[in-house]
């Protein structure tokens, strides 16, 4: 496991959109700048979605424009439909993400339509992106469990992943949205999906509700997966899953990787500083164990 792991920082989008306290465009730009300054090479900056549905993402165009001078960093944005795609292009997005669910019930609760209809909605987005030379990342949520349907069979995830891959997504991020997965199930899922989408084009997006995220990531890395989504400070949650905590914390992932001898190029001190600022803005301490430990250490000096 000595080779590199690609970390996609999702705090400014997937993290903040699930936090009750919205923060300003200027503060979101400063957060992205701080994360890039800490050494992150892929930072999801916003979402071109309905302001009524997700008010936390209002101003994503301004955030993207505010950080677009960082040409050596991937700056993906979430796009749910053609209208969102057009807005993303007006703001200069070069990398977008679309999302689907492996659970029919979750899809209906989250975006008011079933899986098949959600795919129909973003088919024209993928077609236009291909014509425009815009890269597309695919998200699949509820891959290891659903708040409505319980356990999700790997085949349900495989079916959606195959469609996204065939439509042209360059990478497919597998999301344990409610954080119920365990290492064995994570391993079995990756094996199943890798039978149809190359392992090199899969990413792990694990939430830490039951404290299993790092163990699940380690199991996935043993299977050969080399891309991880994480959020500074463990930001986020899931509004449709009571008790679901945020994404696995970037600090905790970096600490584990560095301990395994896998260099990340990330400055932990700067990363924790970025986390502390955004945690102050949303009014709660970081969920990250590493940030909490380093903050306690700093206070004790």
Determine contact, residues 227/203, Cβ cutoff 8 Å: yes
- From 73, 169, 225, 238, active-site residue: 238
Query: What's the confidence (pLDDT) of residue 240?
Result: 63
Helices 183-194 and 213-222 cross at an angle (nearest 10°) of: 40
Handedness of CA 56, 212, 251, 33 (dihedral sign): negative
- pLDDT for position 69: 97
Which domains, from first to last, does the chain contain?
6-300 (3.20.20.70)
**What is the torsional sign of CA 112, 143, 173, 157?**
negative
238 is catalytic: yes
SS (HEC) of the chain: CCCCCEEEECHHHHHHHHCCCCCCHHHHHHHHHHHHHCCCCEECCEECCCCCCCHHHCCHHHHHHHHCCCCCCECCEECCCHHHHHHHHHCCCCEEEEEEECCHHHHHHHHCCCHHHHHHHHHHHHHHHHHHCCEEEEEEECCCCECCCECCCHHHHHHHHHHHHHHCCCEEEEEECCCCCCHHHHHHHHHHHHCCCCHHHEEEEEECCCCCHHHHHHHHHHCCCCEEEEEHHHCCCCCCCCCCCCECEHHHHHHHHHHCCCCCCCCHHHHHHHHHHHHHHHCCCCCCHHHHHHHHHHHHC
pLDDT in tens, the chain (301 residues): 558 999 999 999 999 998 889 999 999 999 999 999 999 999 999 999 999 989 999 999 999 999 999 999 999 999 999 999 999 999 999 999 999 988 888 888 777 788 888 889 899 999 999 999 999 999 999 999 998 888 999 999 999 999 999 999 999 999 999 999 999 999 999 999 999 999 999 999 999 999 999 999 999 999 999 999 999 999 987 666 666 678 999 999 999 999 999 999 999 999 999 999 999 999 999 999 999 999 999 999 8
The model carries a pTM of 0.95
For 82, the token pair is 């053609």
User: What's the confidence (pLDDT) of residue 6?
Assistant: 97
């Amino acid at each position: 496991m000595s080779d590199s792991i690609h970390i996609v920082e999702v705090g400014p989008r997937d993290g903040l959109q699930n936090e009750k306290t919205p923060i300003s465009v200027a503060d979101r730009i400063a957060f992205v700048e701080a994360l890039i300054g800490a050494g992150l090479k892929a930072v999801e900056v916003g979402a071109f979605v309905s302001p009524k549905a997700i008010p936390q993402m209002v101003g994503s165009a301004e955030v993207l424009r505010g950080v677009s001078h960082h040409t050596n960093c991937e700056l993906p944005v979430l796009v749910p439909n053609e209208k969102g795609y057009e807005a993303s292009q007006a703001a200069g997005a070069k990398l977008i993400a679309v999302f689907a669910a492996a659970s029919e019930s979750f899809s209906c609760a989250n975006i008011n339509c079933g899986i098949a209809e959600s795919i129909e909605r973003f088919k024209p987005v993928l077609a236009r992106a291909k014509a425009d030379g815009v890269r597309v990342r695919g998200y699949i949520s509820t891959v290891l469990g659903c708040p409505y349907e319980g356990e999700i069979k790997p085949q349900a995830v495989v079916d959606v992943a195959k469609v996204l891959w065939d439509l042209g997504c360059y990478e497919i991020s597998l999301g344990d949205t409610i954080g119920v997965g365990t290492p064995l199930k994570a391993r079995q899922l990756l094996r199943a999906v890798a039978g149809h989408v190359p392992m090199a084009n899969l990413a792990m997006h694990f939430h830490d509700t039951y404290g299993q995220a790092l163990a699940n990531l380690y199991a996935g890395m043993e299977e050969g997966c080399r891309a991880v989504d994480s959020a500074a400070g463990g930001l986020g949650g899931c509004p449709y899953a009571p008790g679901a905590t945020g994404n696995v914390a970037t600090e905790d992932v970096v600490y584990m990787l560095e301990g395994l001898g896998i260099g990340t190029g990330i400055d932990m001190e700067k990363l924790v500083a970025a986390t502390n600022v955004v945690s102050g803005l949303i009014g709660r301490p970081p969920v990250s164990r590493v940030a909490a430990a380093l903050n306690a250490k700093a206070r004790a000096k």
